[in-house]
Amino acid sequence: MPPPQITSIGPLAPALDRIASGLGSEHARPDQRETRRFHEGNPLLLAGRKREMERTSRSRAALSDSAENILSARQFEYFLERERSLADRGTRRFTLLVLRRQASERGDRRGRVALTELAQQACKRLRSTDLVGRLDADRVEILLTDTEPAGAQAVAAWVHQVEGRLGLDLEQTIYVYPSVAEQSTNREPDLDPHERGPDEGMRSNGHGNGRLTRHSDAAGNTHVPSLPEYRVATNGKAVAGHLNGHALPRALDTSGRTGRVVSHPLWKMEDLWPVLGVPTPLWKRSLDILLSALALLLLFPLFALIALAIRLDSPGPVIFKHLRAGRGARPFVFYKFRSMIADAEEERAALAAQNEQDGPIFKIREDPRITRVGRWLRRWSMDELPQLWNVLKGDISLVGPRSPTFDEVCKYERWQLRRLSVTGGITCIWQVSGRSLIPFQEWMRLDMRYVASRNLWLDLRLLVQTVSAVLSGRGAC
């Protein structure tokens, strides 16, 4: 089998191809043909030539393997989404290490070549389950599957050492899924048979999941510290030469002797799930601006009548303002016509036992806090009309999952956080399917169905169905 063609070795490729295939003899000069016949008859020269060809073939194959192991942006996004789905089904966490070249150095060709070299070294150094992707010319991302934040810190320390040797200056950010604050599932680390061997002075303890190793106290008792305990005890520095299954680099100490593990402070860590939001398509934003502006203009007289009715019915502001979670849990001020008494939020705790909705949602069909005008507004969903201003501002969309309160988000299961991947809305599949009559878990599944399949025709269909749902009053409370 001929050796693979590698373009990365530049002008040497044609010459190596001629040597490997034995071509070029018919184009040689007479003296070159005589020399070749002499070489072909010399066993020692033939053996040396064969060894040189084998070494060249192995080098080219190694370069090819490293290049093939670096994923493209589309491939990396696929595996990132797959790892997220696996994490959502259980309690495991994973980390994502994002490496960006400094803005002042972007565009430098030598820096891009050095970043490629770093990515190739990472492919050789990391476990077989970890993935390296080249997202663009100035950014590399490393997906550390089933790895706790401390394990990612160890990989970041290794990257810091390699970037120094390659003359790079990188911005490193560690993203933790689903969040940094979530506690580790303290279980015994497993051995990973695919752990890569030691490379360039690295030491590996073979732990494949990136969780904290066991430590013994003075009495010989072992325990696995939680992440907060680990941070307080060590200030985020290396312990015993390893951290969460990823080997830490061995470097020169101040006296020039090797063998001492260099301690590094914690790199910046952020929650990953808010970053995985899906941008609003241009067609959707255009539809939101057009329809919301038109509706606000046409409904202005109705707004004035509703405001007057609220003022005459009960004391308090006309507009109810509340802090809600938008796409990626970004906070925004949510507007509604006030349909309850002014101090309704303070009286909610006393009514908690009467809650009729499962999950973190609070709903009472005959809520005593609702005013007379408010009951009429809720029956026809007119209390939602001020949200058209939120749509025009871009806080929410006409169609999308209902924007939750932050108290609700804190009680979500992992998979339910995915509904915050897209911009929320006034109406969605849940609103046209029965609203408050639908159990919470089914409500979340309906939102997830919309997130997975949203398109222009679905949005238009849901807007039309919303009209009939409002007129029927089914599930309104």
Predicted pLDDT at 55: 59
Output the pLDDT for position 471: 86
Is the pLDDT reported for residue 224 higher than 80?
no
Once rounded to an integer, what is the mean pLDDT over residues 67-91?
A: 87
% of the chain exceeding 90 in pLDDT:
42
Q: What is the pLDDT, as a whole number, of residue 45?
A: 56
Write the Ramachandran bin of 259: left for phi over 0, alpha for psi from -120 to 50, otherwise beta.
Answer: left
Residues 124/199, Cβ–Cβ less than 8 Å: yes
Mean pLDDT, rounded, for 110-129: 90
Q: Are 178 and 273 in contact (CB under 8 A)?
A: yes
Q: What are phi and psi of 95, to 5 degrees?
A: -130, 155
**Can you give the pLDDT at residue 259?**
33
State both tokens at 162: 């390699």
Q: Are 140 and 133 in contact (CB under 8 A)?
A: yes
Strand partners of residue 331: 325
Give the DSSP H/E element, type plus range, for residue 155.
helix 149-166
Nearest to 420 by CA among 287, 289, 275, 285: 275
The single-letter DSSP state of residue 71 is E
φ, ψ of residue 450 to 5 degrees: the values are: -65, -45
Per mean pLDDT, which of 105-114, 207-216, 247-256 is the most reliable?
Answer: 105-114
Indicate the pTM of the whole model: 0.67
Q: How many Å apart are CA 398 and CA 284, to the nearest integer?
A: 9
- The rounded distance, in Å, linking the Cα atoms of 98 and 126 is 15
| Beta bridge partners of residue 321, listed in sequence order | 335
- pLDDT for the residue numbered 47: 64
Q: What is the pLDDT of residue 354?
A: 84
Handedness of CA 424, 429, 432, 437 (dihedral sign): negative
pLDDT at 139 over 50: yes
Binned at pLDDT 50, 70 and 90, residue 136 comes out as confident
Question: Parallel, antiparallel, or unpaired for β 260-261 and 250-251?
Answer: antiparallel
Strands (E), 188-275: 215-216, 222-223, 242-243, 246-247, 250-251, 260-261, 269-271
Q: What is the pLDDT of residues 6-41, one digit of tens each?
A: 444 444 444 445 444 444 444 445 555 554 554 555
